[in-house]
Amino acid sequence: MELKINIIGLGIMGKSVGRALLRNPLVKITACADLKSENLEEAKSELKFARSYNDYEKMIDTEKPDAVYIATPDWAHYKPVMACLDAGIHTHVEKPLTTDESEAADIVRKVKDTGLKLQVSYNHRWLAPYNATYNMIRAGQIGDCLMGYARKNNPIQVPTKMIPWSKNSSPMWFLSGHDIDLMTWWFDDDPVEAKGYGVKRVLKEKYGWDTYDAMQGLVKFSKGGFATFESTWIYPEPHPAMPDSFMEVVGEHGHIHLDRKTEAIEMSTPEGFKWPRSLLNYKVFDRWVGAFPSCINSFIDDIVEDREPVVSAYDGWRSTAVLDAIHRSADTGETVRISEPPI
């Protein structure tokens, strides 16, 4: 069995995940769509797809793929996801599912009605330390989760040089979804209330952008536990972490700390001091390993073996609902009740 795959959005993620799909014997990338023809041209020979489109609706209508991987900017996921589900296509979408809770809720209902498979790319669940944390908590080793803390901070070149659309997103939409997904998975509990804070100063003064420099959210869970999430993307350029990532869970009789900022490598050269990245996506000999390939390849297995995806549409909705509530709270100064589950 060979699944026909299309990719929508051939930027950094579209190309990275495409490279992992290329080595999966169960799939063939038949076509890709991007608004920018140069992105399609650049990737065509490497990803070995036959046809290119600027209009993804035309692509899925013509190509009739079995599954689509969507890697458009944060706020541009809803329309292609709905177009794929309406066309009966299994869908793997980048995080966050959407940047609007009600759109995410629509997607959850659509997935339920169609019976199609949808996975959100919260790929950190496939990183061994985070996965081990889940197993240790479920085995009762620290008791019920009472308190959590998560930080994901990036240097300023990420919003100013790497992501062309950062002014329409925020450090939390871009960075904290992974932490919220992990924390709710570990807590095994529903978040119910959020208080958010944010500051817009550096990017506003330097670039005129109306986006937050730094944010913090305190989230309460239904059984009384709580967790703090924070992110900034204005560390000075020489900072060697991308991102500076730390997570903590305190349980009834134990704690777990996960410090990922150095990715286990420290290096210095005449050009500077570095913590080179290798955990999310790294080519070991001829194969890509890490969280990106594990997540997409798991989704392909879900389709072939007719299993529920690890990160469901509901899980994607939950992180979006928390992020949406933190942003509304930061914007208004009010404590915000997290929306009720859509199903």
Ligand X SMILES: NC(=O)c1ccc[n+]([C@@H]2O[C@H](COP(=O)([O-])OP(=O)(O)OC[C@H]3O[C@@H](n4cnc5c(N)ncnc54)[C@H](O)[C@@H]3O)[C@@H](O)[C@H]2O)c1
Region 99-128 residues binding ligand X, contact defined as CB under 6 A:
121, 123
Contacts of 301 (CB under 8 A, 6+ apart): 26, 307
Q: Which is nearer to ligand X, 119 or 123 (CB)?
A: 123
Q: What is the rounded CA–CA span in Å between residue 65 and residue 179?
A: 32
Asked whether 165 and 74 are in contact (CB, 8 A), the reply is yes
> Which residues in 78-97 contact ligand X (CB under 6 A)?
94-95
Element (H, E) at 182: helix 177-187
Q: How near is the Cβ of 264 to ligand X at its closest, in Å?
A: 18
Short-list 67, 63, 59, CA closest to 21: 67
Binding segment for ligand X (CB under 6 A), chosen from 28-36, 180-188, 249-257, 297-305, is 28-36
Using the contact rule CB under 6 A, the part of the chain among 29-37, 129-137, 222-230, 258-266 near ligand X is 29-37
From the list 3, 6, 69, 72, which residue makes contact with ligand X (rule: CB under 6 A)? 72
**Residues paired with 32 in a beta bridge:** 7, 52
Contact yes or no for 233/158 (Cβ under 8 A) = yes
What are phi and psi for residue 91, nearest 5 degrees?
-135, 130
Centre a 10 Å sphere on the Cβ of residue 90 and count the other Cβ atoms it contains.
23
Is 36 a residue that touches ligand X (CB under 6 A)?
A: yes
- 174-213 residues near ligand X, rule: CB under 6 A: 174
User: Shortest Cβ distance from residue 333 to ligand X (Å)?
Assistant: 27
Q: Which helix (H) or strand (E) holds 292?
A: helix 291-305
Q: Residue 77 or 220: which CB sits closer to ligand X?
A: 77
C-beta of 65: minimal distance to ligand X in Å? 15
Q: Which of 5, 20, 56, 181 binds ligand X (CB under 6 A)?
A: 56
CB atoms inside a 10 Å sphere around CB 252: 10
Nearer to ligand X, 142 or 163 (CB): 163
5, 7, 9, 212: residue in contact with ligand X (rule CB under 6 A): 9
- Distance CA(111)–CA(117), nearest Å, equals 7
Residue 256 to residue 228: CA distance in whole angstroms:
15
- Which of 63, 74, 103, 213 touches ligand X (CB under 6 A)? 74
Window contacting ligand X (CB under 6 A); options: 2-10, 23-31, 201-209, 243-251:
2-10
Sites of contact with ligand X (CB under 6 A): 8-14, 33-36, 39, 56, 71-74, 76, 94-95, 121, 123, 163-165, 174
